[in-house]
Amino acid sequence: MNVMISGIPISNLLKVRKLFFLNLELISKLFAGPVGEDMFHWQATIMGPTDSPFSGGVFLITIHFPPDYPFKPPKVSFKTKVFHPNINSNGSICLDILKEQWSPALTLSKVLLSICSLLTDPNPEDPLVPEIAHMYKNDRAKYETTARSWTQKYAMG
């Protein structure tokens, strides 16, 4: 039997509720604002997602908006060291929406949420650090242990 509320299956309403609370939890872990008076230079803080080896970490991110923003993507990079296949030692982030998939409709909060999602779900098929991508694909336990260790060393101090 399919229970309905206002003609909508209750199972669909429960899915929407779960997504709402997931997004609410993610949003509560993101903070961003301008650095001083420069509206083109921002700093953001992302709390490590609980379902990842980055849990408990506090990650600083710098954001530089180009003069033609929102028609060009912001330059976003990690200041905190992160062991991740899509983030290199300079803090550069390999994320399609920061490159060829950029759209002026994307907001900063969507960009930061995408970075949170990337922490939880790396893309080893488009790595900035191939060695870490190889480890992620072939020895997940070692990857998670190393990422957790880096989080404790660089993002919890």
Q: What is the pLDDT along the chain (157 residues), one digit of tens a residue?
A: 555 444 555 555 445 444 444 444 445 577 888 998 888 999 999 999 998 999 999 999 999 999 999 999 999 999 999 999 999 999 999 999 999 999 999 998 899 999 999 999 999 999 999 999 999 999 999 999 999 999 999 999 7
Distance, CA of 96 to CA of 152 (rounded, Å): 28
4 in any annotated domain: no
Token pair of 117 as six digits: 């999602």
22 in any annotated domain: no
What is the residue range of 144's domain? Answer: 27-154
CB atoms under 10 Å from CB of 44, counted, come to 21
17 in any annotated domain: no
Distance, CA of 85 to CA of 143 (rounded, Å): 10
pTM, entire model:
0.81
Contact 73, 99 (CB under 8 A): yes
57 in any annotated domain: yes
What is the domain count for the chain?
1
128 in any annotated domain: yes
User: Which sequence positions are flagged as catalytic?
Assistant: 94
20 in any annotated domain: no
Give the sign of the dihedral formed by CA 124, CA 53, CA 147, CA 107. positive
Contact 129, 136 (CB under 8 A): no
